[in-house]
Chain A
Amino acid sequence: MITRTVLVITATLFMFATTGVALAAHPDNGPGCGLGKLAWNSYAGQQSIGAQVLQSTTNGIVPSQTFGISSGTSGCTNDGTIFASEKVNVFAAVNFDNLAQEMAQGQGEHLTSLATLMGIPAEQHGVFFAMAQEKYTTLIQAGETSPKAVVKAIYSAMGSHPVLAQASSTK
């Protein structure tokens, strides 16, 4: 019962943070951490980073222990840093609204940072921004299902792009 209540609260916070993201209905229990895997089923002690990070966007407080230094591996942080495999997803989920705006504008520090995290070389950033702006509608629609899906949609859009295909295939 308590688990259920917590689940509902967490889900509500989550939906508040990224309204329109319908992930709450489809918890992903696969490997990894954070956004796909909000550890709702095994909530007991450790809150997953995704839930904490997203709560932080509603109330402005990240429990310091989420990113505790040398705290050992917990959730999806590794001694307070984010696992390489989850960096793009965590970034995209936390900054979804900023990214949506900057994709429409075809520029911005969040978009540049996302491109960097995705391993797109600096000289191709301009091409990447233009693509994000051009495909804004498709990409954001994908983002409405889950923040992870927007990342996936960006990768697949890059895959069919003459210049960016190279950067995406190395992923």
Chain B
Amino acid sequence: MIIHITLLCLGLFILPSVATAQDPSSTYLLQLIERADHKHLHQHRYWHLLLHYRQNFFGGYTSEVDDPGFFQASEGKNDPQAELHATLEKFFSGDLVGRSKQVAQCAFIARFQWLRAQLKFDETRLPLHHCERYEQWVNELNPASITLIFPAAFMNNPVSMFGHSFLRIDQQDQTEHTRILAYTVNYAADVPPGAGLEFAFKGMLGGYQGFFSTIPYYIKVQEYRDIENRDIWEYRLNLSPEEIHRLLMHTWEMGNAYFDYYFFKENCAYHILSLLEVANPQFHLTDQFHFWTIPADTIRLLIQQKDLVQDVSYRPAGSTNLKRKRAALQPSEQFWLEQIIQDPSYAIAPDFLKLSQPRQTFLLDLASDYLRYKGRTDSKQADEYQTKNRSILLQRSQIRVPSPAFSVAPFSLSPEQGHETARMGVGIGWRNDELFEHIDIRAVYHDLLDPNPGYTPDSQVELGALSLRHYHGRNQFRIEQFTLVNVLSLAPIDSWFRSPSWKIRMEMNTVKTRSCDLCSNGHFNVGAGGALETHVFQREVFFLMGEVDANVSGAYDENHRIGGGVSGGVVANVTENWKWLASGGYLGYFLGHRSDDIQVSVGQRWTFAKNFAFRTTFTHHDRDNELLAVFHGYF
């Protein structure tokens, strides 16, 4: 019995290869392969796009896809030609292939349709399969147009500090009020729940698998607008029906694939661009990015494509909505709002009912928005907020007039209007009466003194920044500073919003101490505190933080000093283009080299074009004074 089964299996195994020798379909396959080779289809840009091939160091091609099931040839990841031959062969087969377990013609429908058009398949010799699952899927998506969605940066989740991007498949017959029913095409790493610091490392180094998925837009809106309080920007793309068709066929195909996820380069924004390239191979998008893909940069690139981005719309974050509506209240209305939030029964107080009905609805709606916001952010008292919200909504339902229209303006311009994310500067300065020339270059992204438009207010993310100097007196070239990470988030506190402000910094810098004149120093600093906002000039944010500070340098006894202290300061927009940042702090070091340090720093920046700015800074440390003036260009 066992022998019999084994024989049968062998028989099944052998059968196809025997068949290929005489079968008419195999002669046709050989003809197709010959024709494909003759036309060099395996070198065609479209074949490379469909298989995500990139030129490798050795001049050959390697696919970015890491799922073996995506390739029909065993060496398909590195051999576009073998993959093309094997794909053609699989088109003759009824075997189920790939993660999605369909016949190859349907699992890889974009490849099939492209090769069919290129090689003019004879349907009598290569029977067509009907791809019912694909058709159902497309019918369900019901595509009419494509919109690129960009939820702005979210500082309190490091994964989101550069923003995110995905596509929305707008449906036929949709209106602006039913956009949320559309499906999205989203690329994300599949991260197990509860991954903390581990995520940072694995996410950067390709330790997770990334997949495409079609999450309904209403879930994404809830996630970004309601839960994470991120503004959402929507860019309507001008794609033809054929382009949309190609994009969706390929998206379907990508259900069979995963990529190793790399936070900096092969991330959401990068793979979304790869879909758009398949839609229209005239676009050269992914090859503009070599080491990192910042979502806002990909939007700037799309805007530069002729006639691609049709219009931009804005969906305010829950917190933006609250702030704007609260700012629009009269003082007396603010009083009522606070009362109602404390005790919803004020909503039926005779004096409240004397307000006009539209104002009543505006206040009740805002109170409800606020209580829902609190319910989401303060889980301990969520029940109490919910009960209050119910009472307010009950009262609201009694007032049968529509809420007054209110347009919520963003606090920052749309991301594509911001400066470019890489920066280079040249400058000159004096350090302790010694003249120096200065050059700096930064990989990404934005610091507090960079021009504001397009960036999340009061936030700073700098990665990979290097500055070099030449000191005249001693005729010395130095690596003055290398910043690995420099992140800071200020969150102004008021009666409604109470998020902490925080910062973290890892760098190498140059210090001057009693024992050492200009020594390299490894520096780590982390702090947390609070911030307040005023509007004396245009807008000022004051901050105060407690912090821990560690230094490793030959300049210190025992080669290190570790301590803590406080720092505070103010960042002020004086005019649209002129910004100041002043800060000071005290640090006491009680481990290693016992010492203390008083620091003062004052800087100002003038923006004279979107991508050009000039700044001066004065910094004072213990026995170290420096003045620096730099021109910055963003590219």
Contacts and interface: CB of A to CB of B under 8 A. Distances in A.
Interface string A67-90: 111111000001111100000000
Contacts, number: 159
B222 A95 contact: yes
From B141, B191, B393, B397, residue with most partner A Cβ within 10 Å? B397
Contact of B133 (A70, A97, A98, A107): A70
Nearest to B385: A19
B403 A105 contact: yes
B397 A80 contact: no
B397 A69 contact: no
B591 interface: no
B393 A136 contact: yes
B218 A70 contact: no
Interface string A82-115: 1000000001001101101101111101101100
Interface string B131-162: 00110110011000000000000000000000
A145 interface: no
From A20, A63, A140, residue with most partner B Cβ within 10 Å? A63
B176 to A, nearest CB: 8
Contacts of A112: 175, 177-178
A70 B177 contact: no
Contacts of B274: none
A118 to B, nearest CB: 12
A133 interface: yes
Interface in A126-147: 130, 133-134, 136-137, 140
Contacts of B101: 72
Contacts of B214: 67, 69, 80-81
B523 to A, nearest CB: 34
A112 B397 CA distance: 17
Contacts of A122: 175
Contacts of A71: 99-100, 255
Nearest to B183: A81
A48 interface: no
B403 A107 contact: yes
B254 interface: yes
Nearest to B251: A69
A27 B185 CA distance: 32
Interface stretch (A52-60, A148-156, A159-167): A52-60
A103 B141 contact: no
B402 A65 contact: no
B306 interface: no
Given A64-B186, A101-B393, A133-B400, A109 B251 contact: no
A104 B213 contact: no
A113 B218 contact: yes
Contacts of B361: 105
A107 B402 contact: yes
A79 B255 contact: yes
A78 B140 contact: yes
B219 A109 contact: no
A68 B137 CA distance: 12
Q: How large is the interface on A (under 10, 10 to 19, 20 to 34, 35 or more residues)?
A: 35 or more
Instruction: Report whether over half of chain A's contact residues are helix, strand or loop; otherwise say mixed.
Output: helix
Contacts of B369: 101
Given A61-B193, A69-B254, A78-B136, A103 B213 contact: no
B372 interface: yes
A66 B213 contact: yes
A61 B368 CA distance: 25
Nearest to A111: B177
Contacts of A117: 181
B177 A81 contact: no
A158 B213 CA distance: 35
Interface in B177-194: 177-181, 183, 185-186, 188-191, 193
Contacts of A46: none
A122 B175 CA distance: 10
B394 A137 contact: yes
Nearest to B401: A106
B341 to A, nearest CB: 15
A130 B538 CA distance: 44
A104 B393 CA distance: 6
B392 to A, nearest CB: 8
A116 interface: yes
B227 interface: yes
A110 B180 contact: yes
B566 interface: no
B396 A80 contact: no
Contacts of A68: 211-213, 255
A43 interface: no
Interface of B: 99-102, 107, 133-134, 136-137, 140-141, 175-181, 183, 185-186, 188-191, 193, 210-216, 218-219, 222-223, 226-228, 251-256, 361, 365, 368-369, 372, 379, 382-383, 386, 389-390, 393-394, 396-397, 400, 402-403
28 contacts: A19-B382, A60-B223, A62-B219, A64-B215, A66-B215, A67-B186, A67-B213, A69-B100, A69-B212, A70-B133, A71-B99, A71-B100, A72-B101, A79-B255, A80-B214, A80-B255, A81-B137, A95-B222, A98-B226, A101-B389, A104-B396, A105-B403, A112-B175, A113-B180, A116-B178, A116-B181, A122-B175, A134-B397
Interface of A: 16, 19-20, 53, 55-57, 59-72, 78-82, 91, 94-95, 97-98, 100-101, 103-107, 109-110, 112-113, 116-117, 122, 130, 133-134, 136-137, 140
Given A53-B219, A62-B223, A95-B218, 6 more contacts: A19-B386, A56-B219, A70-B100, A70-B133, A79-B137, A101-B372
Q: Which 9 A-B pairs have the closest CB atoms?
A: A70-B255, A69-B255, A70-B100, A136-B397, A104-B393, A112-B177, A67-B213, A80-B214, A64-B213
